Amino acid sequence: MPATAARRALAGRLPAFPWDALAGAKERAAAHPDGIVDLSVGTPVDPTPASVRAALTAAADRPGYPTTVGTPALREALVDFVRRHRGAPEQLDVDGVLPTVGSKELVAHLPFQLGIGAGEAVAFPAVAYPTYDMGARFVGAEALPVDMAALAAQGDAALPDPSVVSRLRLLWLNSPSNPTGEVLAAGQLASIVTWARERGIIVASDECYALLPWTVDEVPSVLDPRVNGGDLDGLLCVYSLSKQSNLAGYRAAFVAGDPALVGELLAVRKQAGMMLPAPIQDAMTVALGDDDAARAQREVYRSRRTILEPALRAAGAQIHGSQAGLYLWSTFGESAMNSVERLADLGILAAPGMFYGEGGGTFVRVALTATDERITTAARRLPRL
């Protein structure tokens, strides 16, 4: 196939970039006399911790190439972090951790890096971050949305076609969910892990919002022995510092779990030159140990949530899920785009739920990632809806 045709073939497998559909609503919201309140994308707006900025500055003179596997200090910090915050067992050591250039690139490329291809399948939550779907499409695999709570309870019966199990190579979990904020309990995770292992399916769990719980006591991890029985075989945990530490611009994330799988990823990523810049590695090492900064940021989001949630309810919204994370998964009982347009008339921009799957068609995702002043402004406007 000529190169141009090959490029067209790949492009033909991809839907339109969803955020382009918001251009009109964003323009309308921006025309509000008091300015736009952008609660759509969910990008952090608060300062990066001072400790992290100081580490980045100190590491600025790094002329040589970094390593893909990470510095010894970073690898030790990663191990310490997942033991303290994700319930990882003592058996997880530096061979089971690997820094990544943000978490989105790993989500998008994990099927490729695991050798998954055409004729095989990748499953992910039915209402989910669209990059799980994209990762499957990039390699020509079948993209399979699944109700994960139903899978935990019913096994094969939860699949639209149980025959797909023989082709299923990778199962993505996302708890807390983006966009719904729902959290899977340890028992649910354990049921899914057991089901997947019995069928030889790799489980990758995206846990990027785990340190932002609101209405639950804990956010369990696939690394937790309660979930995996003390065995990390076939399991990967994906985590990012973008949310808890305001490091979205640093692209500081990692994967942890089964050392054999992490080793496979390392081998591919070394060949592809997928290296986290050396100054970022030093800054990330500090961020992983700065629990005080992460706790302080959580309280900032808690305060904003306390302001925004009752305002949405007063405007007629019902809030579903939203047990953890940066979003309020809200419905006004109408089509998502109708809600987006009505909010835009108030100068508020939200993300329509159908960006995340058919089950989001009547929902909007409202982010907590705006300044205190903008959140207060949104809360003041919402009753007019």
Compute and round to an integer the Cα radius of gyration of the chain: 21
Residue 295 CB-half CA count within 13 A: 5
Nearest one of 38, 18, 43 to 240, comparing CA atoms: 43
**231 plus 207 within the same structural domain:** yes
The helix/strand/coil state of 46 is coil
Contact 174, 288 (CB under 8 A): no
**280 plus 242 within the same structural domain:** yes
DSSP secondary structure code for residue 241 in this structure? S
**201 plus 322 within the same structural domain:** no
**177 plus 315 within the same structural domain:** no
**65 plus 194 within the same structural domain:** yes
pLDDT at site 14: 67
Give the other-Cβ count within 10 Å of 120's Cβ. 20
Question: Which runs of consecutive H residues, i.e. helices, occur in the chain?
Answer: 3-12, 23-30, 50-58, 72-85, 104-113, 131-138, 148-154, 186-198, 225-228, 242-245, 259-272, 278-289, 291-314, 336-345, 372-381
> Cα(366)–Cα(345) distance, rounded to whole angstroms?
16
pLDDT at site 142: 96
Contact 171, 204 (CB under 8 A): yes
**204 plus 308 within the same structural domain:** no
Q: Which of 257, 289, 321 is the last residue of a domain?
A: 289
**14 plus 130 within the same structural domain:** no
Q: Which residues of 353-384 are buried (b: 16+ CB within 10 A; e: fewer)?
A: bbbbbebbbbbbbbbbbbeeebbbbbbebbee
Owning domain of residue 174: 50-289
**38 plus 181 within the same structural domain:** no
121-125 and 168-174 beta bridge pairing: parallel
Q: Which of 229, 256, 289 is the last residue of a domain?
A: 289
Contact 242, 252 (CB under 8 A): yes
**78 plus 139 within the same structural domain:** yes
Q: Name, in order, each residue with C-beta under 8 angstroms of 167's C-beta and a sequence gap of 6 or more.
A: 119, 120, 121, 142
Q: Which residues of 296-332 are buried (b: 16+ CB within 10 A; e: fewer)?
A: ebbeebeebbeebbebbeebebebebbbbbbbbbbbb
> Cα(306)–Cα(361) distance, rounded to whole angstroms?
26
The counts of H helices and E strands in the chain are 15, 13
* pLDDT beneath 70, residues of the chain: 1-19
Written as six digits, the tokens of 302 are: 């808690």
pLDDT for 146-190, tens place per residue?
999 999 999 999 998 889 999 999 999 999 999 999 999 999 999
Q: What is the CATH number of the domain that holds 267?
A: 3.40.640.10
**132 plus 263 within the same structural domain:** yes
> Cα(275)–Cα(129) distance, rounded to whole angstroms?
24
**92 plus 189 within the same structural domain:** yes
| Domains in the chain, number | 2
Q: What is the CATH number of the domain that holds 327?
A: 3.90.1150.10
Q: Which of 266, 289, 312 is the last residue of a domain?
A: 289
Residue 195 φ then ψ, to 5°: -60, -45
> Cα(83)–Cα(241) distance, rounded to whole angstroms?
16
**104 plus 147 within the same structural domain:** yes
pLDDT at site 162: 86
> Cα(138)–Cα(165) distance, rounded to whole angstroms?
20
